[in-house]
Amino acid sequence: MKEKGVSCHLISSLEDIAWIYNLRGSDVKNTTVFYSFALIEKNRDILYILDETLAGSDAAKKLPATTELRPYFQVFDDVGNLPAGKILLDKNSISYSLVQKMPQHMEILDEESPARLMKAMKNSVEVECTMGAHLKDGAAMVQFIRWVKEEIAAGNTLSELTVAEKADYYRSVQKGFLQTSFDTIAGYGPNAALPHYAVSEESNLQLKPEGFLLVDSGGQYTDGTTDITRTIALGPLTEEMKLHYTLVLKGHISLAMARFAEGTTGAELDKLARGPLLEKGLNYNHGTGHGVGHLLSVHEGPQSISPRGTGCPVLPGMITSNEPGLYLEGKYGIRLENEVLCEKGEDGLLQFRTITLCPWEKEAIVTELLSTDELKWVDDYHDHVYEALKPYLNVECAQWLQAACGPLI
């Protein structure tokens, strides 16, 4: 604020406020935030919060001595009575009515809150905790995928709604689980060709022992937020399905193995994930990666790995998704998503560490299309997944995972 020459800073982003005060809430489904505004001045700060949100919580005890709690809607009157000065706010995340309350003598500096970038660059504690969340999430996913495959192989009837509920169940029994980080997407066959498909009673397909099931899901744990997509083989696959799965995997690996200079943006990195598909005249109509919050929103900026980009470079400490895909209308969809942590290598270049733990579909991979480095990446990743998750699984599930993580060649 001093650098910008502003006398106060009005914050309306719920994720930013939760991070600044190190508080979490349950006012919004799937996202651990609470309805609030924050007004920060030189010698004090005011947190505007709903009475019903605060009731019964011990949030007030955790606040700094400088913080004053006020009723949520009082922010409109307080903003209208600000003394002459310069205020920092982000018009992209603030209501028109609140801006209109600003007195004429108040100069507005319209910029993103500095908390947004600070929040995106996770510190060592946030990183360590997030790793713990992925151990639990990986164990849940392995149990879920094993269950799906065994149920289908046994001839039992499953639907998209059934498997979505089961994925949620395996997460719910993990220690520290709070809620899903978004509504689980489970799409079979042609439904999976819709990138943002939402299963309903009307669209709910019965699964068959063939083809692909796409499941995009995630959890909010007391130690972090997860987001993962796996495309699961339910039975025999066509050669076309295997080719397309392998091309998407090659794009995923290309981004996962990237090494890049400081200042590289997500728009530049996005090209790596699309390369193998573009060579075959194929593409996908969504971004490759979004930022992931720390026990906050599963979709957070300012970084984005996308052709549109945001102009924000990918920086050490940022956790971003890596999720190329391919969608053939009326046939099937494929998406392969892990979360990756940006780190600085010993030579000063930046690189990604994959932190999601769950095997790929070996039977869907055309090994002849993978380079030696790509084959090694998959085998090394599978070795890591097995060793990391083995202690969190029962004997039968660990044995299943060991087979699923066996070498490709």
Any domain includes 217: yes
Same domain, 245 and 104: no
Any domain includes 3: no
pLDDT tens readout for residues 85-111 = 999 999 999 999 999 999 999 999 999
The structure tokens 């993978």 sit at: 370
**Taking CA 42 as the corner, what is the angle to CA 109 and CA 125, rounded to the nearest 5 degrees?**
90
Same domain, 133 and 229: yes
Any domain includes 267: yes
Any domain includes 409: no
Backbone angles phi, psi at 40, to 5 degrees: -105, 125
How many angstroms separate the CA atoms of 112 and 11, rounded?
Answer: 9
Alpha-helical (H) ranges within 85-159 are 96-100, 114-120, 124-153
pLDDT tens readout for residues 48-99 = 998 777 655 676 677 888 899 999 999 999 999 999 999 999 999 999 999 9
- Give kind and range of the element (H or E) at residue 272: helix 266-278
Same domain, 102 and 128: no
Any domain includes 128: yes
Q: What is the pLDDT of residue 176?
A: 96
Q: What is the pLDDT of residue 51?
A: 78
Same domain, 280 and 235: yes
Domain boundary among 76, 91, 118: 118
Report yes or no: 340 and 199 within 8 Å, Cβ to Cβ.
no
How many angstroms separate the CA atoms of 46 and 235, rounded?
Answer: 58
Any domain includes 2: no
Domain boundary among 118, 139, 165: 118
Q: How far is CA 134 from CA 137, 142, 225, 346, in A?
A: 5, 12, 8, 25
Q: Taking the model in full, what pTM does it have?
A: 0.94
Segment-wise mean pLDDT, segments of 10 residues, the chain, 409 residues: 95 96 93 95 92 68 85 94 94 92 93 95 97 98 98 96 98 97 96 90 95 98 97 97 98 98 95 97 96 96 88 95 97 98 96 98 97 98 98 97 95
**C-alpha gyration radius of the chain:** 23
User: SS3 of 223, please?
Assistant: coil
Backbone angles phi, psi at 396, to 5 degrees: -65, -40
Same domain, 143 and 111: no
Domain boundary among 72, 94, 118: 118
Any domain includes 184: yes
Same domain, 114 and 212: no
Same domain, 14 and 84: yes
Same domain, 107 and 224: no
Same domain, 175 and 75: no
Same domain, 84 and 101: yes
Number of domains in the chain: 2
Same domain, 55 and 150: no
Report yes or no: 130 and 301 within 8 Å, Cβ to Cβ.
no
Any domain includes 1: no
Q: Which residues pair with 121 in a beta bridge?
A: 318
Residue 31's domain spans which residues? 8-118
Report yes or no: 398 and 359 within 8 Å, Cβ to Cβ.
no
* Residue 349: both structure tokens together: 């270049």
Q: What is the pLDDT of residue 309?
A: 72
Same domain, 251 and 331: yes
Report yes or no: 255 and 325 within 8 Å, Cβ to Cβ.
no
Output the domain CATH number for residue 170. Answer: 3.90.230.10
Output the domain CATH number for residue 15. Answer: 3.40.350.10
